[in-house]
Structure 1
Amino acid sequence: MEDCFLLKSLGVQWDFFQVPAAGLSGGLMVLWRKDLASFSVLEASSQMIVGKLDVLGKGSWMVAFVYGSNEIQNRRTLWTDLEKHCSGNLPFVVGGDLNCIISQAEKRGGKKFSVNQGSKDFTNFMIRNYLHEIKSMGPRFTWCNNKNGGARILEKLDRCLINTIALNFIHIALVKNLSRVSSDHCPILLEVFKPLEHTKSTIRYEEVWASYYGASALVKSVWKRNCKGDPATILNLKFKRTLKALFYWSKEKYKGLNALRDKLKDEILEIQLEESEGVLSVERLQILRFKINELNVTLARINTWWRQRAKARWMDEGNCNTSFFHAFASARRSLNWISHIKIGSGIFSEEESVIQDTFSDFFICKWQFRDCILEGWLRPSKVLSLEDQRMLEAGFLQEELQVVEEISKRSISPSVDGISFSFIKDFWQTIKGDTWIAVKQFMISGFMDESLKEIMIVLIPKIKSPQEPVH
């Protein structure tokens, strides 16, 4: 296609860059709106176009458009060429026909998938450059050979990858695999700047709050305030009141941790450079030691913040403040985001209200009242020893509640009100009295306040990119 004819077809607002087709091999073309973005090509070949995309109001991005060869050796050259552009400090997106699958789940029909050098090369390329595949909606397979019967083969050849910087920048990303119409490939649409609906956020306990001087005193002061009601109602009210007080008290303290870290590093470097030129005074040496101590405390708080979000046990083993750890936490957030749902009529919806209603209807149906046949059950005396019966019938002791607090892990069982076991463990000496009174009342009366029965349902996907809730 002649350049002038293409520009005339697109209109004056558009610009483009292309790598012409060579024989049966299709070419590559990048198009962009000149009034919204500018694109400067850094490298181009028969398998890729790499460039810097400057989006109005969204900053600069590195983007690679890929048309991978079906030859392993040629694709290895592609990974090498792309790797040269992965070491920068800009968000990086790689997308297109990568012509490679990495598991049997990405193929249907034809020969059974087996791990080969091509899939290993691609996986290693992603690992070395901290690239993450974006979850997708729509058809699971993006390519089809358009044959019939047993000769029909479907594969996932098209995908989008983003680096850790992009993942931290956009938070939520989604790839839509669109319908195949005039090609054997699905067009893929990457959404990165889709505005999220802002809903009322719930205050949740942050473990880093307890590290600030004065947190324990604040909790004691708020907790001592009088409340009216039964023990369970009083406990629940004190939880909410204390959490709210901690939130507003610490709001200014922890929101600038990264900025404080960078500032302290600069100040420490300045003093150390001063020392390299001459002897430091006693006062300057004390300031240096104070700054280093403050930096270590700040780094510990940042690690605590990330640990709470990553839910990763291996952080306790030392992999704290690393780029992989941060990527793990950010990727977890992106993967947990439910961007769409398949509703009863078989169509997909991205509306938040529809997603909420679908899950609500599912669990209402799942937990509806059912008649249970209780006749014919064995009597306890036939299945339990006398020692076991006495243990079960014995009263619950305050010492046992103390043991529960001691053996419980942190950051587990977050409730709807934002309280987790981290809060309970951090301020146990203050709250244990009211907690025991509420537990004892429940053991005696068998009645629990409705607000304490509220639970948080955690949806755990058993397959990659689930589309609907199933039993």
Structure 2
Amino acid sequence: MVSLVSSSWFVVGDFNAVLGAHEALGSRSPTHSSYEDFRLMIEVCDLVGIHSQGARFTWVRGRSNLTRVERRLDKVLVSDGCISCWQEISCVAFPRIYSDHCPLLVRLSDFEVSSHRLFPFQSMWLEHPDFIAIVCKIWSSPIVGRPLQVVIYKLRSLKKALKSWNWEVFGNLNSVIARKSIELHSIQLDLSNRGFSYDLFMVEASVHYELDVLLRRQKCFYRDRSRVRWLRDGDWNTSFFHASIKCRKYRNTISALSINGVLSEDRPTIRDHIISYYSNFFSSDVSRVERDLSIVDDMIPSLVTAAENAFLTSVPSADDIHDALFAMDVASTPGPDGFSVRFYQRCWDFIKDVDFLMKIAFAGLGSSWLLIVVFVGLVVNLQIIFFFIVLWRLLFERQFSRLSSDVSLPKFGNPSSCRPLSVSISDQVMILWKAVIHAVIWGVWTARNQWIFEGKLVDFRSVLSFVWSVVSKANRLDIGCMLNCMDNLLIFRLFSLRGRPSKAPVIKSVIWSPSAPGWIKVNTDGAAMGSLRVGGCSGIFRNCRVFVKGLFAIPLGQVFAFEVELLVASSTVNFAWKYGWHRIWLESDFSYMVQLLSSHSEMVPWRVRQAW
């Protein structure tokens, strides 16, 4: 079917299959083989799913809790060509009336919404030699005023300077790349028709270098806009980044909104309703804020002593701020002002105003700027609020480093238990903690609303009972296994639940033959935690005397098990070539590797074809 359709196309309807357990609810869980085949079909056809508004599950059967089954069977799948042709693709799932399926309405629109574009900081600017000079010039200008106002004024001036500099130096990347590609093609045709010419050869090399620089800038530009983190550095995939940007735009677009029970598609009406809703939601008097805080004080006991509070709220040093900033993820989403964490890390040596402002902000941590802006109704420059997004990230990074320090805080448990979320954690424990967080937020929010609107004071024990029931139900999902370690066992004992231990490995004796003289033997292996789950690969290199020459371990992000084996082979070749090992004996448990290496097979998935 894919070979017959060359233009843009999309498929909509009842596929009678789901993509995973997250698209199913009820007594019967979908089988692993069913959604694995469906995922493979989507990948082979190069289709992308469009998120639908409305009902989460489009098919329902059963009228009791024991027999009710809900699935997301109705979907809209579009091709890459369809994504490129339309400015907006949306889908709405309407209520079920005469059928057990929700009817879907697909909208395809060429109308591009004109809106005020915020300033986007580009990572490609950091590689240009003139960037640091521009920032130094703006930041060294003498400005008189409060520290916060000075920083905001400099950021605003820097934004204007970078906008004009970007247009003069970089211009429209797509247009420049198109012109350079045509120029390079013309030069190569002249070389082919006229024969070799040294002058023409040097011109070709110069144009080829300029085009390579432009392509690298384009890759960096699309990578920033797509905000895809799981791809490794070095992957180009410009078309994939472009499709990711389009899909993220579709997800973030509000094409329809239910206003007082009526579905509205008029954009000015939607805009006015959103502004009115949040203006009323965030407008309140101080007495209500104090009443909300009193509820929190009554429900949450005081666990911090004066000495511990003094330690946690002490003003950090310059080294502390530096360490907290450089511990942040450079790929995180920038604030609405456009300046990303990568900018502050690169320019930290000479923007000392932010260092001083950070200490002032930390000293006034007890007063919430958010409450001042929202509830009191002060008219504050939005640029200040945007700047505080990065500032608050620094505050939380610093507080985390203090909680994970060696200072004894017995009420919080062992300091080593304060770990970042990137640490490996089993699927079963992750589901439990997510259930706890959601249940606590919902329970406290419900208790707050009952106190405000109904005057009922909810017993804290009922909230805990609700949390325990949600955790118990989440543990019945039968997803993943626990790690065979004491930490996981203690967590399950805390909730009085039964864990599912992972299968213990069996160590077997094998005959390992060394390589011939002059050859390097490498043993590789890769694994993924299920279909399109977190995966990784590793390898170890030994010479003919069985001495270890090197080893590597690479996280691969969200991959299929088949892709892991291909990526470990390509990583092995790259690693060996880097260190000058050109005679490699690759030993792998993937028997299909021989066929793939000996021929240009079309079975290589498109997601790893560039690396392969």
TM-score (norm 2): 0.51
Question: Which residue does the alignment assign to 2:452?
Answer: none
Decide whether aligned partners of structure 1 residues 334 and 132 sit closer, same or farther in structure 2, where only a CA change above 3 A counts.
Answer: same
1:371 aligns with 2:290: no
Question: Which residue does the alignment assign to 1:98?
Answer: 15
**Counterparts in 2 of 1:207-218, with a 5 A limit?**
207-212=123-128, 214-218=130-134
Question: Which residue does the alignment assign to 1:177?
Answer: 93
**What's the CA shift for 1:247?**
1.3
* More displaced stretch, 230-239 vs 408-417: 408-417
**SS at 1:83's partner residue?**
coil
**SS at 2:293's partner residue?**
coil
Question: Which residue does the alignment assign to 1:425?
Answer: 345
Counterpart amino acid of residue 412 in structure 1: S
Counterpart amino acid of residue 38 in structure 2: F
| Unaligned stretches of 5+ residues in structure 2 | 370-379, 393-433, 436-440, 446-612
Decide whether aligned partners of structure 1 residues 204 and 357 sit closer, same or farther in structure 2, where only a CA change above 3 A counts.
Answer: farther
Counterpart amino acid of residue 201 in structure 2: L
Alignment check: 8 A CA contact 2:222 2:238 kept: no
**What's the CA shift for 1:148?**
5.9
Q: Which runs of 4+ in 1 moved over 6 A?
A: 150-153, 443-450
**What's the CA shift for 1:102?**
3.9
Counterpart amino acid of residue 418 in structure 1: G
Question: Which residue does the alignment assign to 1:125?
Answer: 41
**Counterparts in 2 of 1:190-201, with a 5 A limit?**
190-193=106-109, 195=111, 197-201=113-117
| Unaligned stretches of 5+ residues in structure 1 | 1-81, 464-468
Which residue, 357, 367, 370 being the options, matches 1:438? 357
Cα distance in 1, alignment partners of residues 34 and 358 from structure 2: 60
Question: Which residue does the alignment assign to 1:5?
Answer: none
Which residue, 135, 156, 165 being the options, matches 1:249? 165
Alignment check: 8 A CA contact 1:340 1:355 kept: no
Question: Which residue does the alignment assign to 1:115?
Answer: 31
**What's the CA shift for 1:236?**
1.1
Decide whether aligned partners of structure 1 residues 323 and 281 sit closer, same or farther in structure 2, where only a CA change above 3 A counts.
Answer: same
Decide whether aligned partners of structure 1 residues 265 and 321 sit closer, same or farther in structure 2, where only a CA change above 3 A counts.
Answer: same
Cα distance in 2, alignment partners of residues 317 and 420 from structure 1: 18
1:320 aligns with 2:236: yes
Question: Which residue does the alignment assign to 1:42?
Answer: none
Question: Which residue does the alignment assign to 2:521?
Answer: none
Cα distance in 1, alignment partners of residues 125 and 41 from structure 2: 39
Question: Which residue does the alignment assign to 2:75?
Answer: 159
Decide whether aligned partners of structure 1 residues 186 and 229 sit closer, same or farther in structure 2, where only a CA change above 3 A counts.
Answer: same
Which residue, 212, 235, 246 being the options, matches 1:330? 246
Decide whether aligned partners of structure 1 residues 162 and 442 sit closer, same or farther in structure 2, where only a CA change above 3 A counts.
Answer: closer
Decide whether aligned partners of structure 1 residues 335 and 282 sit closer, same or farther in structure 2, where only a CA change above 3 A counts.
Answer: same
Cα distance in 2, alignment partners of residues 116 and 442 from structure 1: 51
Cα distance in 1, alignment partners of residues 233 and 117 from structure 2: 32
**SS at 2:353's partner residue?**
helix
- Deviation per CA, 1:106-129: give whole Å up to 9, x if none: 5566x7242276544332121122
Which residue, 335, 348, 358 being the options, matches 1:415? 335
Question: Which residue does the alignment assign to 1:352?
Answer: 271
Decide whether aligned partners of structure 1 residues 188 and 413 sit closer, same or farther in structure 2, where only a CA change above 3 A counts.
Answer: closer
Which residue, 184, 187, 202 being the options, matches 1:271? 187
- Deviation per CA, 1:224-257: give whole Å up to 9, x if none: 3332311221111101111122113313544521
Cα distance in 1, alignment partners of residues 206 and 240 from structure 2: 30
- Deviation per CA, 1:122-160: give whole Å up to 9, x if none: 321211222111111233444567x86677766544322
Alignment check: 8 A CA contact 2:191 2:200 kept: no
Cα distance in 1, alignment partners of residues 261 and 79 from structure 2: 33
**What's the CA shift for 1:193?**
0.6
Question: Which residue does the alignment assign to 1:286?
Answer: 202
**SS at 1:137's partner residue?**
strand
Decide whether aligned partners of structure 1 residues 359 and 164 sit closer, same or farther in structure 2, where only a CA change above 3 A counts.
Answer: farther
Which residue, 116, 120, 124 being the options, matches 1:204? 120
Decide whether aligned partners of structure 1 residues 401 and 352 sit closer, same or farther in structure 2, where only a CA change above 3 A counts.
Answer: same
**What's the CA shift for 1:200?**
2.5
Alignment check: 8 A CA contact 2:87 2:110 kept: no
Cα distance in 2, alignment partners of residues 307 and 170 from structure 1: 21
- Deviation per CA, 1:167-192: give whole Å up to 9, x if none: 24435321122344565544321112
Decide whether aligned partners of structure 1 residues 144 and 433 sit closer, same or farther in structure 2, where only a CA change above 3 A counts.
Answer: closer
**Counterparts in 2 of 1:382-397, with a 5 A limit?**
389=311, 393=314, 396-397=316-317
Cα distance in 2, alignment partners of residues 368 and 240 from structure 1: 33
**What's the CA shift for 1:286?**
1.9
**What's the CA shift for 1:437?**
4.1
- Deviation per CA, 1:366-389: give whole Å up to 9, x if none: x945334499655344x69xxx95
Cα distance in 2, alignment partners of residues 444 and 181 from structure 1: 59
Q: Which has the higher contact order (CA 8 A, sep 6+)?
A: 1
Counterpart amino acid of residue 166 in structure 2: S
Task: Percent identity, please.
Answer: 23
- Deviation per CA, 1:291-347: give whole Å up to 9, x if none: 11111111111111122123233333433335444433432332233444556x555
Cα distance in 1, alignment partners of residues 293 and 68 from structure 2: 49
Question: Which residue does the alignment assign to 2:176?
Answer: 260
Question: Which residue does the alignment assign to 1:47?
Answer: none
